């Protein structure tokens, strides 16, 4: 079984390598593009890149683990950022974050157990007058309450399920 898994080809990664003429000196750009395409770097993608560039897997893993921007886990369906800076703290952002952690079982800086939600702390979204502030998949929201946040999350999950 391991041998079969070992041979899985990752077509998008192969294509990206080809666009760079399979040049080992383009490794960082290739990794960046592969991550941009899928949001993370899977084992299949890394194996395919190593094969295409004719470099060892150890070498590629060394590079990926050195740069913290490379993600080795699939992203959650929804990325929620809650501002934890002072102005938002003054209007309840800590309680809001605690609510989300408990309700959605998503630790700050981590994913929920079901993989649906990624919760991140951020420090000022430039929306201080309308705190607590948050972002869901890059969209900014102000005056976020637990009820409003639940509704926004559920709307997005329903929308994703319809698509």
Minimum Å distance from CB 50 to ligand FES?
42
Query: Residue 10: which of 53, 57, 61, 48 has the closest Cα?
Result: 48
Size of the site for ligand FES (CB under 6 A): 11
Report the residue number, 35 or 133, with the smaller CB distance to ligand FES: 133
What's the 3-state SS for the chain? CHHHHHCCCCHHHHHHHHHCCCCHHHHHHHHHHHHHHHCCCCHHHHHHHHHHHCCCHHHHHHHHHHCCCCCCCCCCCEEEEEECCHHHHCCCHHHHHHHHHHHCCCCCCEECCCCCEEEEEECCCCCHHHCCCEEECCEEECCCCHHHHHHHHHHHHHHHHHC
CB 94 to ligand FES: min, Å? 12
Per-position x/- string for 66-105, each x denoting binding to ligand FES as judged by CB under 6 A, each - no binding: -----------------x-x-xx-----------------
Nearer to ligand FES (CB atom), residue 89 or residue 105: 89
Q: What is the CA radius of gyration of the chain?
A: 19
CB of 79 to ligand FES, least distance (A): 17
Tell the smallest beta-carbon distance from residue 152 to ligand FES (Å).
17
Binding pattern for the stretch 125-144 against ligand FES, x by CB under 6 A and - elsewhere: xxxx--x-x-----------
Residue 121 touching ligand FES (CB under 6 A): no
Give the nearest distance from C-beta 71 to ligand FES in angstroms.
25
Site residues (vs ligand FES, CB under 6 A): 83, 85, 87-88, 124-128, 131, 133
């Amino acid at each position: 079984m391991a041998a079969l898994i070992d041979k899985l080809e990752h077509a998008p990664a192969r294509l990206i390598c080809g666009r760079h003429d399979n040049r080992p000196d383009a490794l960082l750009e290739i990794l960046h593009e592969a991550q941009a395409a899928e949001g993370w770097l899977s084992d299949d993608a890394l194996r395919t890149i190593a094969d295409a560039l004719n470099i060892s897997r150890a070498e590629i893993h060394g590079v990926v683990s050195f740069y913290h921007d490379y993600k080795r886990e699939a992203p959650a369906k929804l990325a929620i950022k809650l501002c934890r800076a002072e102005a938002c703290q003054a209007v309840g952002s800590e309680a809001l974050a605690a609510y989300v952690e408990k309700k959605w079982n998503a630790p700050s800086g981590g994913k929920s157990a079901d993989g649906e939600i990624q919760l991140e702390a951020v420090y000022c979204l430039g929306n201080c007058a309308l705190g607590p502030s948050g972002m869901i998949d890059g969209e900014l929201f102000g005056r976020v309450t637990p009820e409003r946040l639940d509704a926004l999350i559920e709307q997005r999950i329903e929308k994703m399920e319809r698509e």
